[in-house]
């Protein structure tokens, strides 16, 4: 199944998705439409950069597109949904990437429609996103797979129950920030030991990137890979001991829990 795709919003995340769709060849430029709420200069930039179809009237976006991705902030989404109701058709599949707006909230504002919540993270901008896909009961398996394929085009996507979105936010949505803090801390430690700042960031970044790739490519448990590095009485086990004494794992778990809790509160 292939449908024309429309973007309501043309910000960074929308552009990351558009770039992924075009670069992967999953969608052609003439199959992609975009409308930007109240800010036409952004549309001009998107048109020049990607060569896709720019829409100046929101009702036309729904006339031209079967699959609609709402790439706007949560407050904007709840404002626009009631006003676009007259344009919605039974065959439309509505995809929201707005954090904190539940499927139930969307249904209250639109009525019964095919609705999917998607939660990509910011590495979408370098085609390395991890996205969760949570459909409502009106969405068919074929339509769900189409949306998974769309989000796979700029990273990876996995179908999860909406009730697990809080956990997804903690482990994926907010997680890039934890990793950036970790890279910064690694680099600071190296600078403390005399490594120039630029070199420190390069070594730290590549170490994190390589370690993540090892987990992905080998399929081994992270604990097993850790054990492969920690030689008896070696440097790594000394560092691991220091991290454990500082409650490293417990601190990370609490960070995931805090993000999940905050997201849960936003969804109320």
- At the topology level of CATH, where does 173-266 sit? ProC C-terminal domain-like fold (1.10.3730)
- Note the pLDDT of residue 44: 84
Please tell me the distance from the alpha carbon of residue 266 to that of residue 263, in angstroms, as a whole number.
5
pTM for the whole structure: 0.91
Query: Residue 156 above 70 pLDDT?
Result: yes
Higher pLDDT, 170 or 267: 170
| pLDDT tens digits, 54-107 | 998 999 999 999 999 999 999 999 999 999 999 999 999 999 999 889 999 999
| pLDDT tens digits, 10-42 | 988 999 999 989 988 889 999 999 998 766 778
- Note the pLDDT of residue 40: 72
User: Helix or strand or coil: residue 95?
Assistant: strand
Report whether 8 contacts 69 (CB < 8 A): yes
**Boundaries of every domain in the chain:** 5-167, 173-266
Binding site members for NADP(+): 71-74
Query: Residue 198 above 70 pLDDT?
Result: yes
**Rg of the Cα atoms in the chain:** 21
Please tell me the distance from the alpha carbon of residue 227 to that of residue 207, in angstroms, as a whole number.
16
Query: Residue 2 above 60 pLDDT?
Result: no
Binding site members: 71-74
Q: Given its phi and psi angles, is residue 220 left (phi above 0), alpha (psi -120 to 50 degrees) or beta?
A: beta
Q: What is the mean pLDDT of residues 136-140?
A: 96
**CATH number of this structure's domain 5-167:** 3.40.50.720
- Note the pLDDT of residue 99: 86
Q: Given its phi and psi angles, is residue 49 left (phi above 0), alpha (psi -120 to 50 degrees) or beta?
A: alpha
Query: Residue 152 above 70 pLDDT?
Result: yes
Token representation of residue 241: 């001991």
Please tell me the distance from the alpha carbon of residue 84 to that of residue 244, in angstroms, as a whole number.
53
7 forms bridges with which residues in the sheet? 34, 69
Query: Residue 1 above 70 pLDDT?
Result: no
């Amino acid at each position: 199944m292939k449908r024309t795709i429309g973007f309501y919003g043309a910000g960074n995340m929308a552009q990351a998705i558009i770039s992924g769709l075009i670069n992967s060849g999953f969608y052609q430029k003439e199959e992609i439409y975009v409308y930007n709420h109240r800010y036409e200069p952004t549309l001009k930039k998107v048109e020049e950069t990607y060569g896709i179809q720019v829409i100046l009237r929101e009702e036309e976006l729904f006339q031209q597109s079967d699959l609609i991705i709402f790439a706007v902030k949560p407050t904007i989404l709840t404002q626009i949904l009631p006003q676009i109701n007259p344009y919605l058709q039974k065959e439309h599949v509505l995809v929201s990437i707005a954090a904190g707006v539940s499927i139930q909230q969307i249904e209250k504002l639109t009525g019964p429609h095919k609705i999917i919540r998607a939660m990509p993270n910011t590495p979408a901008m370098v085609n390395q996103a991890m996205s969760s896909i949570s459909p409502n009961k009106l969405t068919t398996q074929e339509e769900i797979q189409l949306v998974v394929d769309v989000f796979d085009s700029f990273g990876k996507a996995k179908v999860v129950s909406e009730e697990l979105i809080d956990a997804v936010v903690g482990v994926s949505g907010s997680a890039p920030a934890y990793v950036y803090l970790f890279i910064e801390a690694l680099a600071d430690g190296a600078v403390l030991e005399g490594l120039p700042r630029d070199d420190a960031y390069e070594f730290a970044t590549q170490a994190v990137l390589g370690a993540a790739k090892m987990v992905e490519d080998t399929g081994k448990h992270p604990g097993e890979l850790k054990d492969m590095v920690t030689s008896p009485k070696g440097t790594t086990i000394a560092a691991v001991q220091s991290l454990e004494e500082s409650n490293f794992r417990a601190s990370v778990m609490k960070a995931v829990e805090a993000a999940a809790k905050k997201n849960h509160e936003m969804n109320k």
